[in-house]
Structure 1
Amino acid sequence: MKMKKILFAGVMALPLSLQAATLSTGDNIELMAVDGKKVESTFWNPIESVDLAPGKHQVVVRFDGELKNGSKSKMYTTRPYLFELQVPEQDSVIMLPRLNSVTQAKAHFERGPEWKLELSDGSVRALNYVPLHGKGFIAHKDIEGLVAEYNRQHGITFEQGYAVDLKKAAVEVTDKGEVKITGDALAQLKLWYSKANAEEKAAFQQWAKEQDAL
């Protein structure tokens, strides 16, 4: 049973012609982060759905549930899985095949989980995913840091609530050694800024202030 839903940033600013859609999670699927921000759940009051503007969003979930383990039950928790998700204009649910035992769950995730998006009209879409790898289980507690590092490595940033892939702004070197730059100057700046660490960003910000003062 769904316990709590949150309204995500950007939804309130939608034009009347563009309605928000509710994205929910199926049984034993924990919603961890949306567009780089941690979803604040508690054990007693989990958040299992969000209202999102239709379009591209980045969503992170994991399986976390009590399953049969012989004659007893045991909690089974996976690593986080990240989706670059095209949220439709209708309500939808992130689903997995029904998993009843720990043995069944382990086998399913070892061979590659079958994440799917079930829409309110009854149609089902397969979801591409990226498993997030932290250093030790405790690393997954800092889900924002884990997602931020993934986005930094892959040149992904967020603009007006949407995940934007900046790989379209790239520097390519041809076989002849010629340098080819794709994307405009702004896209290039965003790309390299998204890849910088905190120290490099601070140095760039100081340099930019000095340039503006000239």
Structure 2
Amino acid sequence: MKKWFLALGSLALPLAAQAGTLSTGENIKLLVVDGKKVASSFWSETSAVNLPAGKHQIVVRYDGEVKDGSKTRIYTTRPYLFEMEVPTQNATITLPRLSTLSQAESYFQRGPEWQLELAGGAKQPLEYVELQGKGFAAFSDMEALVAEYNREHGITFEEGYAVDLEKAAVEVSDKGEISITGDALVQLKLWYSKANADEKAAFEQWVKTQANQ
């Protein structure tokens, strides 16, 4: 299948940022990058994006042909979300080659070992979250699913980079004690990112009222 590159024009890249190409390996489908659905068609799937070095949020899934006895079928997993440091050099998200249905099922049931393979050949393990959809066709709108995950976890995007506001504004001690850190602006961003559409509208109206006083 023909591969082509997607330039994420919506990302505001600092002029000094070094960019590399992040690709996906065989049978790994690129779904969402920094909250935006990756545009693909049946005939031409996007398998690589140009990103500035730094923290980004990438969502993929395994979607490939495997042998089931004498037949061939498509095996598709749930989406996997990575909050990863994209390097300045080209890199590829990889998995071991899976040939049979039983092999694929066993591999993902025990927990897949996703890796980031750098251009020089070095490999780094990737921590991930397996997204859990709700109801029928739970994964039909990946952008909405990821947006809900980000809202629940206080994740937003600023100048083309993923920012975990919970980590920036909440500190947990070794004893499990929670304290609020960060300045007022970071805390406001955190709570705004967690709000639903009605709550955001109410807050925006309140801000307008305060500005007019």
For the criterion TM > 0.5, the same-fold answer is: yes
Structure 1 SS opposite 2:137: helix
Check whether the contact 2:20–2:51 (CA below 8 A) recurs between aligned residues.
yes
Structure 2: 5+ residue stretches without partners: none
| Residue identity in the other structure for 2:24 | T
Equivalent position of 1:8 in the other structure: 8
Equivalent position of 1:97 in the other structure: 96
Check whether the contact 2:156–2:193 (CA below 8 A) recurs between aligned residues.
yes
Q: CA deviation at 1:136?
A: 3.8
Structure 2 SS opposite 1:183: coil
TM-score, normalization: structure 1? 0.92
Structure 2 SS opposite 1:108: helix
Q: How does 1:71-110 map to 2 (within 5 A)?
A: 71-110=70-109
C-alpha distance in structure 2 between counterparts of 1:181 and 1:7, whole Å: 37
C-alpha distance in structure 1 between counterparts of 2:121 and 2:207, whole Å: 51
Residue by residue over 1:161-180, the C-alpha shift from the partner in whole angstroms, topping out at 9 and shown as x without a partner, is: 111011121388xx9xx995
**Matched residue count:** 209
Taking a change above 3 Å as real, the CA distance of residues 157 and 18 of structure 1, as seen in their structure-2 partners, is closer
Taking a change above 3 Å as real, the CA distance of residues 38 and 10 of structure 1, as seen in their structure-2 partners, is closer
C-alpha distance in structure 2 between counterparts of 1:66 and 1:44, whole Å: 16
Residue by residue over 1:73-116, the C-alpha shift from the partner in whole angstroms, topping out at 9 and shown as x without a partner, is: 00100000000010000000000011001110000000000100
Check whether the contact 1:171–1:182 (CA below 8 A) recurs between aligned residues.
yes
| Residue identity in the other structure for 2:123 | V
Structure 1: 5+ residue stretches without partners: none
- Structure 1, 204-213 or 5-14: larger mean CA deviation: 5-14
- Structure 1, 134-143 or 116-125: larger mean CA deviation: 134-143
C-alpha distance in structure 2 between counterparts of 1:12 and 1:152, whole Å: 21
Structure 2 SS opposite 1:94: strand
C-alpha distance in structure 1 between counterparts of 2:45 and 2:180, whole Å: 46
Residue by residue over 1:42-94, the C-alpha shift from the partner in whole angstroms, topping out at 9 and shown as x without a partner, is: 11110000000000000000000111111010010000000001000000000
TM-score, normalization: structure 2? 0.92
C-alpha distance in structure 1 between counterparts of 2:179 and 2:121, whole Å: 46
* Percentage of identical aligned residues: 59
Check whether the contact 2:6–2:49 (CA below 8 A) recurs between aligned residues.
yes
Q: CA deviation at 1:18?
A: 3.5
